[in-house]
Amino acid sequence: MKIRIQILRAATILALLVPTNALAGSIGTITAQPIQATPNQTVNFQLILGGSGDCGFRLLTGDGTVLGPFGLVSSSPASVSYAYPNTGTFTAIAQG
């Protein structure tokens, strides 16, 4: 699952969801909030399973940082937070 984060020159970010097929024990959706933020402001990612079963994952932030590993269970979403320190365009990828 990929989500694109763009930190604009005006110090804001834009997150776009790129959906993928949901399989048993896989990540179904990922969202990022806030939609606009300044550099060093926390961006909260929420990941939800797309099928049945549990899933482990890690989050590649797109700027060289790898967060995790984390566990994702079918009964609750997982939340991961990260603050992008610089402006630029980043593609965050949840590998599970």
What are the domain boundaries of the chain? 2-95
Query: If you average pLDDT over residues 6-20, what whole number do you get?
Result: 42
Inform me whether the pLDDT recorded for 86 exceeds 60. yes
Residue 77: asked if its preceding bond is cis (omega within 30°), the reply is no
What is the C-alpha separation between 56 and 95, in angstroms, rounded? 8
Give mean pLDDT, residues 29-50: 84
* 41 close to 70: Cβ distance less than 8 angstroms: no
pTM: 0.71
pLDDT of amino acid 82: 95
- Confidence category of residue 69, pLDDT binned at 50, 70, 90: very high
Q: Is residue 23 scored above 70 in pLDDT?
A: no
DSSP string, 38-62: -TTSEEEEEEEESSSS-EEEEEE-S
How far apart CA 69 and CA 66 sit, in angstroms, is 9
